[in-house]
Amino acid sequence: MIGLQHVFYLMGGLFAAYALLSLGDSTNKKRLANALFWGLVALSLLAGDRLGDTANGWLVIGLSVLGGFNLLGRGKASAGEVERDAFGARFGNKLFLPILIVLVVAVAGTMLYLYVPTINATGWLETNRETFVLLCVGVLLAILFIFAWLKPPPLAPLQEGRRLVDAVGWAIVLPMMLSALGLVLRDTGVGTTIGRLMLAVIPEGNVLLAVFAFGLGMAVFTILTGNAFAAFPVMATAIGVPVLIQGYGGDAAVVGAIGMLAGFCGTLMTPMAANFNIVPVRLLELDDQNAVVKAQIPTALPLLLINILLIYFLAF
């Protein structure tokens, strides 16, 4: 059976390759720190489940030191810059075909595996991890297609991948770290404490205020953690389940789904959401590090209000 652990092995091998290639980048004065950073990421993916809590904690501290003290760097543009421009001029939008292969394999493959009984009965893929596995399969097939079509140098995919992760830098691991933060906050009782404090302020029976507290709390915690998935366990424990669903009989599907959308409004307003708001700045080399966030706030605020009202009118 192919599962999530195999995805971790694939990604770990990829970052291990980035670490080795970083060592050989003579144009990057900080190549040793880059190699160590990507090597630690690779170690986490390849053997994190066997290192133990203490070792993983030190690994995260090492990543934080390397990223937090600005020890990572970037080399000069690769020699293939001119070649990439030539490919763009020659093939135009056809260069998006590999991306379409990834999407088709991931989406169509998942649907076929889940809803065609003869395929599903094979048990090839780990339950609830089908899309992750098929996304990786799509990427591998797209790379094979690129080699057959464009015939790039053997190491081109790895070199271009390293160039991209060097451009993004430490921000690339922030989503992985934040993804577990919500469970940590829930297990430490943060959600329960917040729920008690809010219940002490919100008048009993006032559904509208409770909905506002839930929606606004989703956005605020997302701003603080950078991830709506981290905010959801906290706010669901605090207000969503005990107050809105169990207390006032709200529709659980509406509260959960639109509550997540309220959290995503917070995603638009925080630099902590690195993959959305820091990565584009790095890739586009913008002077203002908060340019993306500033552009999104006028959309995020009215959208947050709309989502809160949708919860109120549709769930009750």
Can you give the pLDDT at residue 80? 60
Same domain, 162 and 228: no
Residue 175 lies in a domain: no
Q: Tens of pLDDT along the chain (316 residues)? A: 899 999 999 999 999 999 999 998 888 999 999 999 999 999 999 999 899 889 998 998 999 899 888 899 887 765 566 677 777 788 888 889 999 999 999 999 999 999 999 999 999 999 989 999 999 999 999 999 999 998 888 988 999 899 888 888 887 887 777 766 766 776 777 777 877 787 788 888 899 999 999 999 999 989 988 888 888 888 888 899 999 999 999 999 999 999 999 999 999 999 888 778 877 887 777 888 889 999 999 999 999 999 999 999 999 9
Residue 197 lies in a domain: yes
Residue 61 lies in a domain: yes
Residue 97 lies in a domain: yes
Domain that holds residue 208: 180-315
pTM (2 decimals)?
0.77
Same domain, 160 and 184: no
Residue 225 lies in a domain: yes
Residue 173 lies in a domain: no
Same domain, 137 and 19: yes
What is d(CA 132, CA 126) in angstroms, rounded to the nearest whole number? 10
Same domain, 159 and 187: no
Can you give the pLDDT at residue 266? 94
- By CB atoms closer than 10 A (0-12, 13-18, 19+), residue 11 is middle
Same domain, 153 and 186: no
Same domain, 190 and 97: no
Residue 22 lies in a domain: yes
Residue 174 lies in a domain: no
Can you give the pLDDT at residue 55? 93
Same domain, 117 and 150: yes
What is the domain count for the chain?
A: 2
Give the domain-ending residue among 168, 190, 214: 168
Same domain, 148 and 203: no
